Structures are given as C-alpha cells and as structure tokens.
Amino acid sequence: MFENFDLSKMGAMLEEAQKQAQKMQDDASQREFISKSGGGLVRVSMNGNAEVIDISIDNSLLDDKESLQILLISAVNDVLKMVEENKKLATTQMLSSIGGFGPKS
C-alpha cells in the first residue's frame, strides 16, 4: 500500500490538501442545487454547504398542510442528497489530485 510513498513529501502534501479543501469549500458555497416535488409545486434551493437559500411554494398548497409538509420534506431530502453526492465527488477528486489517495481504477 505504501511501497512508493515518500514521507519527506508529507508536509507539502498536507499543505496542498488544506488548499484544496479550502477551494472545495469556496466552490461549494457558489454552487446551487435545486429540487422540485409535486410537479414543481414545491421547490427548494440549497448551496453546496447544505444551506437552504430559497423555498418556493405554490399558493394552491397553502390550504393543504399535510400535502405541503410531504412535498417539502421530499424536496429537502432530495436536494440534501444532491449536495452530499457533490461533496463525495469533490472529495474523491481532491484526494486523487494530491497524491493518489482516491479510489484505484
């Protein structure tokens, strides 16, 4: 596993990892993920840091609390999955770029 690993380069690799992690976090805050449920009656937008930045609810749902709750939960869960998948992909790419720690092809 560590056959060709040079410990003298560890400091530089850690520094590079910190730079990459900061860049990844900066990039995530700029990305927007959107999920819709109920055919677009509910729309939730989230940035890559998993912060909700917008929720849109069609007026037709305002009198149907139960449907609104179900659709809102669905949209939030879906957009959270998108953000998590993006984080996993970005982490894998970052690890691959700083020394081959990513998954082997």
Strands 52-57, 32-37: pairing is unpaired
The per-residue pLDDT for range 66-97, each reduced to its tens digit, is 999 999 999 999 999 999 999 888 888 877 77
Annotated domain spans of the chain: 30-97
**CATH class of the structural domain 30-97:** alpha beta
The per-residue pLDDT for range 55-67, each reduced to its tens digit, is 999 999 999 999 9
Q: Are 94 and 87 in contact (CB under 8 A)?
A: no
- Given a cut of 60, whether residue 101 has pLDDT beyond it is no
Q: Where are the beta strands (DSSP E) in 38-96?
A: 42-47, 52-57
